Amino acid sequence: LDGLITRYEPPHALAFTWVWAHRPEAPPLEVEVDFEDAPGGTRLRIMQGPYRDHDEDRQERAGHRQGWEVVCSRLAEVVASAASA
């Protein structure tokens, strides 16, 4: 995985590009992560794209969404563990 950080605004935002190393010809995807105060913690908003409107991109997008869900679940576990320590 290769990419560049395109925005870094602690503690509010992080943005970066990424492309799989085994697919260097593919256009890079852009990821924006925003952190917002929320009751009892922080709301994390992740936007990723661009995606085209065809089957291959829809499948790729669904896989990326699943990946982010796994990563965010693990992050929530780590934060909860640290908070109770």
Between 67 and 83, whose confidence is greater? 67
How many other CB atoms are there within 10 angstroms of residue 6's CB atom?
13
pTM of the predicted model over 0.75: yes
Q: What is the pLDDT of residues 14-58, one digit of tens each?
A: 999 999 889 888 889 999 999 999 998 899 999 999 998 999 889
**C-alpha distances in angstroms, 21 versus 25, 34, 56, 69, 80?**
9, 26, 18, 22, 33
**In DSSP terms, which residues pair with 42 in a beta bridge?**
37
Residues 58/61/62/68 CA torsion (nearest 10 deg): -170
Phi/psi for 52 (5° steps) reads -90, 165
Residue 3 pLDDT exceeds 90 = yes
CA 79 centroid distance within chain: 17
